[in-house]
Amino acid sequence: MKLLHKSLAALAAATLTLTLAACGGGGEAADANTVEFWYYQPTPEQAQKVQALVDEFEDANSGISIKLVEIPKADYNTKLASAMAGDRGPDAGYLDQPQMARFADADQIVEVPAGTIDDADFYEGALQTNMVDGKLYGVPLQQTTVVLFYNTDLVSTPPKTWDELVAVSEDVNNENPDVAGVAVPKGDGFGAWMYPGFVASAGGTMLDEKNKKVTFADVPAEEALDLWHTLLESSPREITNSDLPFQKGLAAMMFSGPWDIVGIREQFPQLKFDVALMPMKETEASTIGGDNGVVFSGADNEDAAFKWLQFLSDETHNAEFADITGNFPTNIAAAEASTLADDPQIQVVLQQLETAHARPAVADWIQINDEYIARAIEAAVDGDTPPADALDEAAERAAKLLGWS
């Protein structure tokens, strides 16, 4: 099913994961033929589209009913944890990518039965976000990633490599001292989420789960932090700390997601910009965000629940469902058939998704990302701590938390 061009507006409200809000509640499914599905509440218009998908599914699967339960994004994880603890969890629902390992380790989600989906139908990064200890625990429903934005009045040709990125940034700042070359990521959760993409581009990894080793203190990770620190020389924080520096022409480049493509078009129509693949060191790479569909342990009808997730992720329906969420299809054929793929800037995002990397599948990754890696970035990029020292400290803390030391 093809998307409407006007669906681009939905992307403006999307963040690394979704920015849909709502209300709703939990409870046991009405009977064994009812699949209670928790998701982030959409707008009224989007809710109608979700219900249309439900109607289509129910028409094709006589005897199965889908009960939609809308939960505020900000409250989702808390309400889900409470429901699961009280044995009142839904049959199926969203699960943020970095939550997969935690729920799998706690036996709170069911392994996807063989044959439910064909792995080859999906973007590799999206599929990997569902893998825990080599087993598939979810179905990728929608995804997003980060690309390079550049001001075409300041940058004629986007940099393809890290060296070119540094050179272009320096040229811009030398010619326009009041303009930063690039809005360099900070030591916060968002910056830490983008960081693994740079590490992957340098040939590194964040963790070696199989051998229980923390690898984000290895040389490729040091090189990524050194790149960001070097970029600060031509990208002063006193310029980029202002509100929306790229959008207001104060930074020539930034790393961001497709939500800003639409946001800039609508709110800053005077800005001449384009997007490109992330500059690379050894290989093309970026990071991935989004939500998966899972079936929770204790579901009244696992088979029906997996049929519903299969329906939402197939070639015919995945583009439409991803459009409703404001993100991108995970099914390759669905993405290629979508009219979003006709948009040149969106084409770049879809191309970048081919090399987007999943975050490590460990239960404590969110804490490691937000506390340990973010602090290391702040210390090494904005502070005076050498990248090796900052990362070694973070790696030591992460290994202790994971029980690998």
As a whole number of Å, the CA-based R_g of the chain is 21
Q: Quick one: 227 exposed, middle or buried, by C-beta within 10 A (0-12, 13-18, 19+)?
A: buried
In the chain, which stretches have pLDDT less than 70? 1-32
Give the residue from 264, 271, 282 showing the smallest Cα distance to 201: 282
Taking only the tens place, the pLDDT of each residue in 391-400 is 999 999 999 9
For CA atoms 181, 256, 214, 123, give the dihedral sign.
Answer: negative
Q: Give me the pLDDT at residue 92, please.
A: 98
- Nearest alpha-carbon partner for 225 in 16, 388, 355: 388
**pTM of the full structure:** 0.89
CA dist 276 and 148 (Å) reads 5
Residue 60 pLDDT: 96
Phi, psi at residue 151, to the nearest 5°?
-80, 115
Long-range CB pairs of 48-54 (<8 Å, 24+ gap) are 49/320, 49/324, 50/321, 50/324, 53/311, 53/312, 53/317, 53/320, 53/321
Positive/negative CA dihedral, 55, 56, 62, 64: negative
Which residue bears the tokens 């939402």? Answer: 312
Coil vs helix vs strand at 132: strand
Angstrom distance (rounded) from CA 29 to CA 2: 32
Run of H or E residues at 128: helix 124-128
With contact defined as beta carbons under 8 Å apart, do 187 and 382 qualify?
A: yes
Any idea what the Cα angle at residue 105 is, between residues 100 and 109, rounded to 5°? 60
CATH class of 5-144+288-347: alpha beta
Q: What is the pLDDT of residue 32?
A: 60
**CATH architecture assignment, domain 146-286+361-402:** 3-Layer(aba) Sandwich (3.40)
**Residue of 210, 147, 216, 205 whose CA lies nearest to 354:** 147
Residues in contact with 200: Cβ distance below 8 Å, sequence separation at least 6, in sequence order? 283, 285, 357
- Where in the chain do CATH 3.40.190.10 domains reside? 5-144+288-347, 146-286+361-402
DSSP for 263-276? HHHHH-TT--EEEE
